[in-house]
Amino acid sequence: MRRKIVQIDESKCDGCGQCIPSCAEGAIALVDGKARLSGDALCDGLGACLGECPQGAITVVEREAAAFDEAAVHAHLAARTPQAQRAPLQLVAAPAGNAALPAGPAAPTLRPRLSVVSGDAPAPAGCPGSRSTTLPRRAASPGAAPATGESRLGHWPVQLHLVNPAAPWLRGADLLVAADCVPFAYARFHDDLLSGRAVVIGCPKLDDLSAYAGKLESIFRAAAPRSVTVARMEVPCCGGISMAARQALAASGSSAPFRDVVIGIDGALRGS
């Protein structure tokens, strides 16, 4: 069948492994120092790994491929050996030619690569802090005091690059897309903007907006949010995050209502 599926350009891949934790299906693994698809049937084509590659080696293409097989995904994840599941990550120097040097005090300080220290085949791995988690929070009650001091964050992670579009807390949610300076500038961020919403954050000036648009499109397609609110700063460069969200909504075909909230650098609400 012809469908959308992840494509990895090995000529651009430097084996950093940053894409691996974003794939909940374990469809990507490091093989001979390169990220590769473990099998077409394991890739759902939603592109959760888009934007995770600092080299731009990952894209989603449309080609002939086996249908996504959820049962095969479960079997693939279950087949990982206990040694591979527990294998620690170790930074290994990567000189020219991808010949990894022994890790240890004597190893030179070069650009690091992720390597699995195990006799088994590399398995999806990464920072445990990027695992999708739902947090037990209660929403602010009507008429609550102006500042409750209580966190309204209901999930983790929040960084757009780390969020899995298939995360359960995204499904049908009221989604807040926030520029990462907003919570620092707007004192009532948790009560006025975050309460009752799922949130993803990013910096439109420092990051790749096309990657943001692609990731948001994947989220909108997979999660079908009930509404989308963008919270951004008044500075011109911050408008990019609103543009990326609008483009992603249009590309996904979503009809979710869209709201744009602008915060001044003095912390004042400029408009919405």
| pLDDT score at 61 | 92
Same domain, 155 and 121: no
Same domain, 103 and 133: no
User: Does 167 fall in a domain?
Assistant: yes
Structure tokens at 17: 């492994």
Same domain, 83 and 101: yes
- Residues in CB range of 120: below 8 A, 6 or more apart: 81, 83, 84, 87
Q: What is the mean pLDDT, run by run of 10 residues, along the chain of 272 residues?
A: 92 85 82 88 86 86 91 79 39 37 37 34 46 66 56 92 90 97 96 95 88 92 96 92 93 95 95 78
What CATH number did the domain enclosing 170 receive? 3.40.50
Same domain, 11 and 120: yes
How far, in Å, CA of 220 to CA of 254, rounded?
7
User: Does 145 fall in a domain?
Assistant: no
User: Does 16 fall in a domain?
Assistant: yes
Q: Are 89 and 115 in contact (CB under 8 A)?
A: yes
Count the domains in the chain: 2
Same domain, 13 and 117: yes
User: Does 144 fall in a domain?
Assistant: no
Which range of residues forms the domain containing residue 206?
129-137+151-271
